[in-house]
Chain A
Amino acid sequence: MRAASLSPSFATLYPEIRPLMTADHIPRYNAPALVADGLATTRGGRRVFEGLSFTVSSGELLYLRGPNGSGKSTLLRLIAGYGKAHAGSLMFGDSDWTEASPAFDGAMIYAGHENALKPVLTLRENAAAYTGVMTGQAPDDARLMAGAALFGLTTLLDRPARFFSSGQKHRANLLRFTLLDRPLWLMDEPTVGLDAANRDVLADLMKRHLKAGGMIIAATHDPIGVEGRELALDDFSPKVVIDEDWL
């Protein structure tokens, strides 16, 4: 892909979108910390982790580490409100996310394993569908262009997503982080299928988000090159294995 190889120096190649990337266009987040205390959850009747506590404050990156099946995705989905914690609490400022869905706070961007792209829609339409679901608005055009240039997707903006390669689909999924200003980013395996250049672009994007006061929780096996704390999920695997009662 021609555009992909241009990505690292896109600002010089696309001077017209450069202003977006300067300091005065970077959002300033003033978000409360995300505090988990004694979280436990089960999946398929099996306890995945328990007694899980952590705090992520403004400007912090938390890596979730652990072998397959240790509950990294489960924890991310729990934070995003896609499941219920069986014990413990999860607070985002005054909002209790163990009780109410975090959706109503409009504070996070979640990117999971699936790319959430509609094959028949173009990338531009897919982006509009995403921001439409979240805010009711189409994305700002200059911003979409800047984000697409960042991930080398400029030439793909008006092509239906069914023609994308799997790497392109994944980058198209990551595009969402450039479209909205939300303090909390949840990233599930963000580097899978990314080439080295795009990995650097992603690292750069994450660094800027942290600098702006954002928070990131990322589950990944690969080194991304952004400094962050690590949470080893193995430390919270159940001490005594008990068969949970089936609900």
Chain B
Amino acid sequence: MSGGVNTSAIFRAIFMRDVRLAWSQGGTGTMALSFFLIAVTLFPFGVGPEPQTLARIAAGVIWVVALLACLLSLDRLYQADYEDGSLDDLALSPLGLTGVAAAKILAHWVATILPLVALSPILGMLMNLDAGAYGMLVLSLLVGTPALSLIGSVGAALTVSVRRGGVLMSLLVLPLYVPTLIFGVGAIDAAAGMTDPLPHLAFLGAVTLVALVIGPIASAAALKLSLE
């Protein structure tokens, strides 16, 4: 009603709201991070402490567990708002549902995934990752994980009104994570094996960019269905 709508302020407000909720009591931020740390720590116990074995599977284990930690936290991305009715408010935001989804996805990535990326070198040490691959571990996670949030958001939006929809969401989303996983691990293995990781990184980036275009729009469309 007051003429122009300050969309960037609304985007920022929704982003800050979600970051804050993720790191408040019972939020997904702490949960995903602890899951990531504990699950990776289990592998040396499971497969045995031989350094060569661990080094061989290090990249794959860290990526797969990061992916599962992401999935674990995506469950509540829209469902919490759906259950308490604040999704109705978000749908009435002058930002539009696509913008709202984009803000929530960005908040999810920053609050939940970025801490995993930051802590991944420590887990690399635990898994005896090749010394030359640490930089690529962080870089590949930085380039690839936004796709996990973006694609996962679509699955979360589709299953928002389904009770215990987490499992259904995993079935929808996990197959779509395969390209990100392959190229992410490929880049790290290439760096560890002294070959060129750039082609892997380029494909990883391409997947993220495609997800960036589709993610918010598809999420908004799915959310609209759930509001009826």
The interface of chain A, by Cβ under 8 A from chain B, is 43, 77, 80-84, 101-108, 110, 112-121, 125, 129-130, 132-137, 181-183
Contact = CB atoms under 8 A, between A and B. Distances in A.
A117 B83 CA distance: 10
B85 A134 contact: no
A115 B89 contact: no
A82 B226 CA distance: 9
A106 B227 contact: no
A180 to B, nearest CB: 9
Contacts of A130: 89
Given A83-B227, A106-B1, A120-B21, A134 B93 contact: yes
Contacts, number: 112
B9 A137 contact: yes
B10 A132 contact: yes
A61 B36 CA distance: 54
Given A110-B92, A121-B20, 10 more contacts: A77-B227, A77-B228, A80-B91, A81-B92, A106-B2, A116-B89, A133-B90, A135-B10, A136-B6, A136-B10
Nearest to B94: A106
A112 B88 contact: yes
A25 to B, nearest CB: 16
B37 to A, nearest CB: 23
B93 A112 contact: no
Given A83-B228, A107-B1, A120-B21, A134 B86 contact: no
A129 B7 CA distance: 15
Question: Range of interface residues on chain B?
Answer: 35 or more
Contacts of A104: 5, 94, 96
Secondary structure of the B side of the interface? Answer: helix
B96 to A, nearest CB: 6
A115 B84 contact: yes
B164 interface: no
Contacts of A136: 6-13
16 contacts: A77-B227, A81-B91, A103-B93, A103-B96, A104-B94, A106-B5, A114-B88, A115-B84, A118-B21, A129-B13, A133-B100, A134-B10, A134-B94, A136-B6, A136-B8, A137-B6
B25 interface: yes
Contacts of B11: 136
A108 B5 CA distance: 14
A118 B227 CA distance: 19
B62 interface: no
B53 interface: no
Contact of B85 (A113, A121, A133, A183): A113
B88 to A, nearest CB: 6
